[in-house]
């Protein structure tokens, strides 16, 4: 107990300076006013910051879809610009940032659809055919699958089509 008494005796001897305040209480009002301004600034700016972050996330997801559409269109254009029989295999990703998607390829463009959005990428005009060399309007590509893009020739006596360049896109095993 003697130790405790010595500490308390020492503390009594120390003079602790207190923050002086004038008679009107101005220090407290200034502190309250500054705190209020900081809180108001935070309340006003937080929704704008949140919207900006959400916008950046959406732009990132949309760009991933657009990059996929460009990759498919570039692959089709590459096959189409080479000789007959040229082939290229492409593997579709499982998802675009966790979202399932479908790709529709027609004679002019590749369209990626996900989250009720569409991303398009132009293709040099082509003629799409199925495995029986019949002309088709479009083909759907699905996530997680592998496709073979091949340049072929069409010879069809019914339509008088002879040696016309075409593109065949078919699913293959990984």
At residue 61, the pLDDT reads 78
Tell me if 12 is assigned to some domain.
Answer: no
- 117 near 81, Cβ under 8 Å? no
Q: In the block, which residue shows the tokens 């460009």?
A: 70
| 96 within domain boundaries | yes
Print pLDDT tens along the chain (174 aa). 454 545 555 555 555 445 555 555 556 788 888 999 999 998 888 888 888 888 888 888 788 888 999 999 999 999 999 888 899 999 999 988 788 899 999 999 999 988 888 889 999 888 898 888 788 899 999 989 999 999 988 766 566 566 678 889 999 986
pLDDT value of residue 155: 66
Within a domain: 74: yes
Question: Which residues, including other chains, have CB under 8 Å from residue 88's CB and lie 6 or more apart?
Answer: 75, 78, 79, 148, 149
C-alpha distances (whole Å) from 81 to each of 5, 22, 74, 98, 120 are 96, 86, 10, 34, 20
The boundaries of the domain holding residue 142 are 54-172
Asked whether residue 130 is assigned to any structural domain, the reply reads: yes
- What confidence score (pLDDT) does residue 87 get? 93
| Domain contains 48 | no
pLDDT for res 62:
80
Domain membership flag for residue 1: no
Per the structure, how many domains does the chain have? 1
Residue 42 lies in a domain: no
Q: Structure tokens of 120? A: 């398009």
DSSP 82: S
Contact (Cβ atoms closer than 8 angstroms) between residue 121 and residue 110: yes
Please tell me the predicted confidence (pLDDT) of residue 110: 94
């Amino acid at each position: 107990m003697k130790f405790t008494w010595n500490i308390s005796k020492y503390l009594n001897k120390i003079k602790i300076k207190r923050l002086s305040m004038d008679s009107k209480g101005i220090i407290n009002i200034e502190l309250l006013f500054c705190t209020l301004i900081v809180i108001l600034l935070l309340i006003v700016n937080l929704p704008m910051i949140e919207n900006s972050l959400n916008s950046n996330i959406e732009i990132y997801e949309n760009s991933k879809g657009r990059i996929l559409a460009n990759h498919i269109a570039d692959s089709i254009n590459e096959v189409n610009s080479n000789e007959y029989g040229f082939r290229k295999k492409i593997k579709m990703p499982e998802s675009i940032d966790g979202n399932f998607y479908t790709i529709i390829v027609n004679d002019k463009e590749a369209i990626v659809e996900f989250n009720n959005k569409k991303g398009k990428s132009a293709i040099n005009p082509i003629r799409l055919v199925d495995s029986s060399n019949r002309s088709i309007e479009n083909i759907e590509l699905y996530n997680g699958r592998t496709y073979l893009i091949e340049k072929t020739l069409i010879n069809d006596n019914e339509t008088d089509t002879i040696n016309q360049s075409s593109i065949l896109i078919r699913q293959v095993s990984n």
